């Protein structure tokens, strides 16, 4: 396991470099942000000074070399917009998104495992159909629509919850989590049900039942473990999607997370912050994938044997 981990970490380093390079070049394709940050009547001399000060007038490879050199010294540049160091801004925003994403995935996975297993145990029953209908509906609602309706209904009309913001007790979490949850929950219920139906018709399940095993033990002891592989993969992908930016939720509810920071820095051509944010999220995504692989290996011994070199 240790060597497996080591190899995975090492082999993740090269893609990381690719991501950083790609973002670097792509961002600069959008041009020089001079117009956004200098006053209207800036003379061409002032523009030249601005470009020189930030290195925008150098060729792309030179800029890249400078950036990599600075990054090696852990200097990720300064935000053009606020003047603050980019890494500080990113590190402040990241935990918020991480908390949101973590809680969402936890609730979604747990709920989906329960509901999906229940539905798969008795296919075509009322529970199954209801679960199917609800999960499909949940997976098809536009998130910002749900969020705004939630604010209007639960925040204003019913006055049960605060409309937005991060200050307050657990009630500020309800609407943002619900908005983030519905799609992963809907998707996961489908996937769990799909693979559980397959797993429950496998021979060893019949053997277990004929040996007199109770329903719960059949489902959770035997079938679940073998059905969980695609579920894990899909859950991992959903988690990654959440980390990459719960942008809509952060925008509507005013949570200063990294999704909002990233889109703001894209729209305002704040390259340093964008690069730092992408670096951090890329590292997290790679770590998440390694975690998913480790779980795969733990759960399914056949995968462990065939572990890639």
**Ranges within 45-104 binding other proteins (CB under 8 A):** 46, 50, 81-84, 89, 92-93, 95-96, 99, 102-103
Determine which residue in the list 6, 152, 214, 217 makes contact with other proteins, applying CB under 8 A. Answer: 152
137/139 Cα distance (integer angstroms): 5
**Nearest-angstrom CA–CA distance, 299 and 290:** 14
- Which position among 266, 272, 273, 276 is part of the footprint of other proteins (CB under 8 A)? 266
The answer to whether residue 212 forms part of the interface with other proteins (CB under 8 A) is: no
Compute the half-sphere exposure of residue 95: CA atoms within 13 Å on the CB side of its CA: 5
Distance of CA 266 to the CA centre of its chain: 18
Q: Is 120 one of the binding residues for other proteins (CB under 8 A)?
A: yes
Nearer to other proteins, 181 or 247 (CB): 247
When the beta carbons of 69 and 142 are compared against other proteins, the nearer one is 142
How many residues touch other proteins under the rule CB under 8 A: the total is 130
Binding range to other proteins, per CB under 8 A, among 55-63, 66-74, 285-293: 285-293
- C-beta separation of 266 from 221 below 8 A: no
Tracing tokens 């539905």 back to the chain, one arrives at 119
Q: Given the complex with other proteins, which of 58 and 127 has the nearer CB atom?
A: 127
Interaxial angle between packed helices 271-299 and 258-267, expressed in degrees from 0 to 180 and rounded to the nearest 10: 140
The answer to whether residues 276 and 76 touch, using CB atoms and an 8 Å cutoff, is yes
Q: How far is the CB of 6 from other proteins (least distance, A)?
A: 13
Q: Note whether 264 and 258 are within 8 A (CB).
A: no
For 154-209, the DSSP string reads: IIIIS--S--S-S-SSTHHHHHHHHHHHHHHHHHHHHHHHHHHHHHHTSHHHHHHH
Q: Does position 214 bind other proteins by CB under 8 A?
A: no
Supply the minimum distance, in Å, between the C-beta of residue 202 and other proteins: 9
Cα 183 to Cα 235: distance, rounded to the nearest angstrom? 11
Q: Minimum distance from CB of 182 to other proteins (Å)?
A: 10
- Is residue 111 part of the contact set for other proteins (CB under 8 A)? no
Q: Of the candidates 51, 58, 75, 173, which one interacts with other proteins according to CB under 8 A?
A: 173
Interface residue with other proteins among 75, 91, 111, 229 (CB under 8 A) is 229
For the CB of residue 48, give the shortest distance to other proteins in the complex, in Å: 12
**Which 244-263 residues touch other proteins, going by CB under 8 A?**
244-245, 247-248, 251-254, 256, 260, 262-263
Among 234, 242, 272, 276, binds other proteins (CB under 8 A): 234
Instruction: Give the residue among 77, 34, 86, 80 at the shortest CA–CA distance from 57.
Output: 34
Q: Is 213 in the site for other proteins (CB under 8 A)?
A: no
- The answer to the question of residue 5 lying near other proteins (CB under 8 A) is no
Is residue 240 a contact point for other proteins (CB under 8 A)? yes
SS3 content of the chain, % helix, strand, coil (to 5): 75, 0, 20
Q: How far is the CB of 71 from other proteins (least distance, A)?
A: 16
- Residues 249, 259: Cα–Cα separation, whole Å: 9
Contact 165, 253 (CB under 8 A): yes
Shortest Å, Cβ 58 to other proteins: 20
Binding test (CB under 8 A) with other proteins, winner from 33, 77, 116, 176: 33
Which residue lies nearer to other proteins by CB, 58 or 307?
A: 307
């Amino acid at each position: 396991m240790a060597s497996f981990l080591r190899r995975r970490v090492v082999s993740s380093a090269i893609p990381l470099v690719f991501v950083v390079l790609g973002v670097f070049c792509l961002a600069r394709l959008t041009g020089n942000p001079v117009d956004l940050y200098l006053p209207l009547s800036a003379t061409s001399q002032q523009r030249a000074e601005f470009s020189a000060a930030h290195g925008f007038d150098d060729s792309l490879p030179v800029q890249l070399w400078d950036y990599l050199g600075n990054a090696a010294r852990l200097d990720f540049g300064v935000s053009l917009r606020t003047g603050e160091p980019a890494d500080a801004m990113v590190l402040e925003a990241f935990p918020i998104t991480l908390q949101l994403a973590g809680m969402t995935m936890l609730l979604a996975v747990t709920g989906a495992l329960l509901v999906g297993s229940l539905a798969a145990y008795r296919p075509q029953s009322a529970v199954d159909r209801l679960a199917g209908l609800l999960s499909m509906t949940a997976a098809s609602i536009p998130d910002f629509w749900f969020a705004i309706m939630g604010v209007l209904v639960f925040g204003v009309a019913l006055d049960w919850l605060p409309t937005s913001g991060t200050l307050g007790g657990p009630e500020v979490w309800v609407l943002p989590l619900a908005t983030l949850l519905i799609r992963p929950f809907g998707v996961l219920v489908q996937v769990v049900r799909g693979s559980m139906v397959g797993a429950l018709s496998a021979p060893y399940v019949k053997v277990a039942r004929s040996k007199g095993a109770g329903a719960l033990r059949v489902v959770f002891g035997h079938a679940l473990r073998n059905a969980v592989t695609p579920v894990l993969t899909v859950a991992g992908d959903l988690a990654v999607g959440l980390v990459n930016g719960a942008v809509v939720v952060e925008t509507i509810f005013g949570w200063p997370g990294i999704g909002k920071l990233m889109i703001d820095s894209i729209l305002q051509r704040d390259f340093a912050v964008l690069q730092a944010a992408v670096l951090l999220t890329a590292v997290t995504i790679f770590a998440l994938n390694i975690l998913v692989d480790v779980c795969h290996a733990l759960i399914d011994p056949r995968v462990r044997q065939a572990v890639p070199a």
